[in-house]
């Protein structure tokens, strides 16, 4: 476990496309932080613990792909948020429409009381078929819900959030990712489909924090230190060129320092390829 760190210090590891880091070698996902602090490297995956001199692709939430497990940057940020903000232990955990496949899910099942769900079993095969607007689960039956890029496809946001609140045990947590491409929530101006032909009902903004609090969650938006520092400084224009599908100036304008919690410093942001930082926002909602 973590042998790639020792190799990195000898300067012998590059992007090894044939390298598969066995998930079974990882005793606990929380160990990554201690190993990172003891043996810093160029880039590393906090999900499968692969390491090398660069991820595949380019800096973007949908790219910077890990050759070990296939995670893209937003996968690593969601997992980072969950592990960074919780303590080791056994959790009753539901992940909705997980992007990663069997090796990831097998390991999640060894670390947690883990189940995966999907709405129609079309693009993401899962053991449970669940509708977030009407979860067929007992109240107070889950400790953690991970829901990446699903809520924008649900027509009735309030109903889905109330259902998640209901099934979480007191103190339970949801880690929620949606594409945040603008400052404030609106429906799409024209019909919008994502890559799997799933319709988009909402283009969410940072005002989702207030919506979560209305439901009864204690909610904050987790971000990188770089993003937080710009909001703290009152920046209204992003200092570097931005990706055209993001209205970054409106995201900055909607940012409220009190709603943000920075969880990745600049070194970790580079190690895990959380660039550009305006693409990496995840809500933590605690019941």
The DSSP bridge pattern shows strands 168-177 and 282-286 to be: antiparallel
Of 30-44, 48-62, 233-247, 270-284, give the lowest mean pLDDT range: 30-44
Rounded to a whole number of angstroms, the distance between the first and last alpha carbons of the chain is 35
The whole-number pLDDT of residue 253 equals 97
The whole-number pLDDT of residue 190 equals 78
Mean pLDDT, the chain, whole residue set = 88
The whole-number pLDDT of residue 38 equals 74
Going by the DSSP 8-state scheme, the letter that residue 216 receives in this structure is T
pLDDT tens digits, 104-128: 998 899 899 999 988 666 666 667 8
Residue 155 has pLDDT above 80, yes or no: yes
Please give the average per-residue pLDDT across 178-191, as a whole number.
93
pLDDT tens digits, 251-285: 999 999 999 999 999 999 999 999 999 999 999 99
Please give the average per-residue pLDDT across 48-77, as a whole number.
93
Closest CA to 97 of 150, 23, 60: 150
Cis peptide before 82 (omega within 30 of 0): no
Please give the average per-residue pLDDT across 61-78, as a whole number.
95
Name the helix (H) or strand (E) containing 84. Answer: helix 73-84
What is the third-level CATH fold of 73-286? Rossmann fold (3.40.50)
- d(CA 152, CA 206) in angstroms, rounded, equals 13
Please give the average per-residue pLDDT across 79-97, as a whole number.
93
* Domain locations in the chain as residue ranges: 73-286
């Amino acid at each position: 476990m973590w042998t790639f760190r020792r190799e990195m210090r000898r300067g012998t590891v590059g992007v090894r496309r044939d390298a598969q880091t066995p998930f079974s070698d990882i005793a606990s996902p929380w160990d990554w932080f201690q190993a990172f602090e003891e043996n810093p490297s160029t880039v590393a995956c906090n999900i499968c613990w692969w390491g090398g001199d660069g991820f595949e692709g380019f800096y973007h939430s949908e790219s910077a792909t890990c050759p070990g497990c296939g995670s893209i940057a937003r996968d690593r940020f969601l997992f980072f948020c969950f592990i960074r903000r919780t303590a080791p232990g056994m959790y009753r955990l539901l992940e909705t429409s997980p992007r990663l496949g069997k090796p990831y899910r097998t390991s999640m099942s060894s670390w947690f009381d883990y189940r995966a769900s999907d709405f129609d079993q079309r693009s993401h095969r899962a053991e449970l078929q669940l509708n977030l607007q009407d979860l067929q689960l007992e109240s107070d039956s889950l400790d953690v819900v991970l829901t990446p890029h699903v809520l924008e496809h649900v027509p009735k946001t309030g109903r889905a959030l109330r259902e998640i609140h209901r099934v979480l045990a007191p103190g339970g947590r949801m880690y929620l990712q949606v594409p945040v491409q603008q400052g404030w929530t609106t429906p799409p101006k024209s019909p919008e489909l994502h890559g799997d032909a799933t319709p988009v009902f909402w283009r969410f903004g940072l005002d989702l924090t207030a919506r979560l609090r209305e439901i009864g969650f204690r909610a904050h938006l987790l971000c990188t230190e770089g993003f937080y520092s710009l909001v703290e400084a009152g920046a209204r224009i992003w200092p570097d060129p931005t990706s055209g599908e993001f209205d970054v100036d409106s995201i900055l304008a909607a940012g409220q320092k009190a709603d943000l919690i920075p969880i990745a410093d600049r070194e970790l942001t580079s190690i895990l390829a959380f660039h550009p930082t305006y693409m990496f926002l995840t809500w933590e909602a605690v019941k």
